[in-house]
């Protein structure tokens, strides 16, 4: 199966929509996709009970619209390719882990393979998958798609190539899913409204986030996990100021810190979805996961290798 990966944003979400840098890491969970020739052109996501046929279902849902737009981009002299795509997501949707972007990337790779398209670089795959992602998110920075197509931990800045970060040591993260739906589009619009009302305040917040990103990069390169944890906490305060956190996410971050996390914050657009907590080592990570498991919909450990 072709693959697209999920991601966590370590620091810098929202500012990244306004051209500021952010740090993100691909995680080992993602989405698989496979395309096969079929007269019944469409998309199957068995896990979600979704079975779409085109053109009938092309306009009824974001999934239908995104798939139709992406498939159309492969139209050649003999028309739109007659393919059916099977998708297997292993990420919660609408939870800030980049499920839709991972899906877009996996489908681009599956369509490339089935149509015999010339090989594309990760950047080109991410770029093509934005046709899909824009249907879901209106104004995506592209960070989710870049990480879905790439690997490791990296600095992302809109319109620029990813800059990989060389981590001095592996980082152990606990991801907690609040179970509250997070709509990236709405959260990005909420910040945009605040930016129109009070640009100076929001730009100041983004300045502070950018400083956190610079320091977080150094902390990761130097293996200073304690320092990195403090930067996560500061980022969470700034995100709270943008009003994209929720009471539940705050409770989960507090619970993670009480269980020994070096720092914790929401990840992705906020308004619900997931939070991340940085653990000192795999044993601490398991303890934090267990503590979060008592209040979260789901909690699991991922490591971003050195
Ligand atoms: C994406 O996971 C998080 C946001 O920064 C939106 C974007 O970058 O497209 C809020």
Residue 42 backbone phi and psi in degrees, to 5: 175, -165
Quote the ligand 1 centre to 281 CA distance (angstroms): 28
Please indicate whether residue 284 is annotated as part of the active site. Answer: no
Residue 260 backbone phi and psi in degrees, to 5: 110, 5
Supply the pLDDT for residue 138: 80
Quote the ligand 1 centre to 57 CA distance (angstroms): 28
Supply the pLDDT for residue 139: 86
Quote the ligand 1 centre to 141 CA distance (angstroms): 6
Where residue 83 falls among pLDDT bands split at 50, 70, 90? Answer: very high
Pocket test for ligand 1, best of 140, 145, 271 (most atoms within 8 A of CB): 140
84, 34 contact by CB (below 8 A): no
Supply the pLDDT for residue 306: 63
Quote the ligand 1 centre to 137 CA distance (angstroms): 9
Supply the pLDDT for residue 146: 97
| Alpha carbon nearest to ligand 1 atom 8, residue | 141
Torsion angle (degrees, nearest 10) of CA 287, 289, 290, 292: 120
Q: Dump pLDDT digits (tens) for 32-67.
A: 999 999 999 999 999 999 999 999 999 999 999 999
Kindly report the average pLDDT of the chain as a whole number.
Answer: 96
Supply the pLDDT for residue 305: 72
Supply the pLDDT for residue 88: 98
Opening angle at CA 66, ends 53 and 78, nearest 5: 65
Where residue 151 falls among pLDDT bands split at 50, 70, 90? Answer: confident
Q: Which of 232, 244, 245 is nearest to 288 (CA)?
A: 232
Q: Dump pLDDT digits (tens) for 262-271.
A: 999 999 999 9
Quote the ligand 1 centre to 208 CA distance (angstroms): 17
| Alpha carbon nearest to ligand 1 atom 1, residue | 268
Where residue 93 falls among pLDDT bands split at 50, 70, 90? Answer: very high
Which atom in ligand 1 lies closest to the alpha carbon of residue 191?
A: 10
List 57, 112, 144, 177, catalytic entry: 144
pLDDT at 293 over 80: yes
Which atom in ligand 1 lies closest to the alpha carbon of residue 270?
A: 10
Supply the pLDDT for residue 168: 95
Query: Ligand 1: which residues within 6 Å by Cβ?
Result: 9, 13-14, 16-17, 137, 140-141, 143-144, 184, 187-188, 268-269
């Amino acid at each position: 199966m072709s693959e697209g990966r999920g991601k966590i944003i370590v620091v810098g979400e929202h500012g990244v929509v306004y051209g500021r840098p952010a740090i993100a890491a691909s995680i080992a969970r993602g989405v698989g996709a496979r395309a096969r020739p079929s007269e019944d052109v469409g998309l199957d996501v068995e896990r979600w009970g979704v079975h779409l046929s085109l053109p009938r279902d092309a306009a009824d849902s974001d999934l239908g619209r995104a798939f139709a737009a992406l498939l159309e981009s492969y139209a050649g002299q003999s028309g739109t390719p007659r393919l059916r795509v099977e998708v297997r997501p292993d990420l919660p949707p609408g939870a800030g882990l980049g499920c839709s972007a991972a899906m877009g990337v996996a489908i681009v790779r599956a369509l490339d393979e089935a149509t015999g398209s010339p090989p594309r670089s990760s950047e080109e795959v991410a770029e093509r998958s934005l046709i899909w992602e824009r249907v879901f998110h209106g104004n995506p920075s592209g960070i989710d798609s870049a990480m879905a197509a790439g690997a490791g931990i990296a600095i992302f800045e809109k319109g620029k190539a990813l800059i990989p970060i060389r981590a001095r040591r592996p980082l152990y993260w606990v991801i907690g899913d609040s179970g509250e739906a997070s709509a990236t589009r709405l959260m990005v619009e909420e910040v945009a409204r605040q930016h129109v009302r009070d640009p100076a305040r929001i730009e100041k917040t983004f300045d502070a986030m950018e400083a956190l990103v610079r320091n977080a990069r150094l902390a990761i390169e130097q293996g200073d996990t304690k320092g990195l944890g403090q930067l996560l906490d500061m980022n969470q305060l700034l995100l709270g100021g943008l009003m994209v956190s929720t009471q539940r996410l705050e409770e989960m971050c507090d619970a993670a810190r009480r269980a020994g996390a070096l720092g914790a914050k929401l990840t992705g657009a906020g308004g619900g979805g997931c939070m991340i907590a940085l653990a000192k080592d795999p044993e601490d990570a398991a303890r934090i996961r267990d503590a979060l498991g008592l209040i979260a919909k789901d909690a699991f450990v991922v490591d971003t290798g050195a």
